[in-house]
Amino acid sequence: DAGVTQSPTHLIKTRGQQVTLRCSPKSGHDTVSWYQQALGQGPQFIFQYYEEEERQRGNFPDRFSGHQFPNYSSELNVNALLLGDSALYLCASSPIGVGATEAFFGQGTRLTVV
């Protein structure tokens, strides 16, 4: 089992551009969550997808959007990039549950906005 895989691992973009990050969940998992981790901080919840719909969302602007495909893989899109969007973006997958399920994280995509 490959676990959670994310691509690309590193990315450099220019302010104002758009970026798409990709995530393949662990086999058997149908729920995907995205997190943003700034340097020296804990991960911050962006949103969660289940059954191809956004199930819940954290305190992030509409520039951050996502999608989940029928095979449960997911994309995170960020429009009009700002310097402050530079961070490690983490994807986590889990089976749908109510608090007792373990989440598996990918290695993340390091996004640098210049």
Q: Give me the residues that bind other proteins (CB under 8 A), please.
A: 4, 31, 33, 35, 41-45, 48, 56, 58, 90, 92, 94, 96-108
Start-to-end CA distance of the chain, whole Å, equals: 36
Task: State which residue, 67 or 110, has the beta carbon closest to other proteins.
Answer: 110
Cβ of residue 100: shortest distance to other proteins, in angstroms? Answer: 6
Residue 4: alpha-carbon gap to chain centroid: 11
Q: Give the DSSP H or E segment for 51.
A: none
Cβ distance to other proteins smaller for residue 57 or 63: 57
Token pair listed for 30: 């149908």
Question: Least separation, in Å, of the C-beta of 80 and other proteins?
Answer: 25
Contact 48, 31 (CB under 8 A): yes
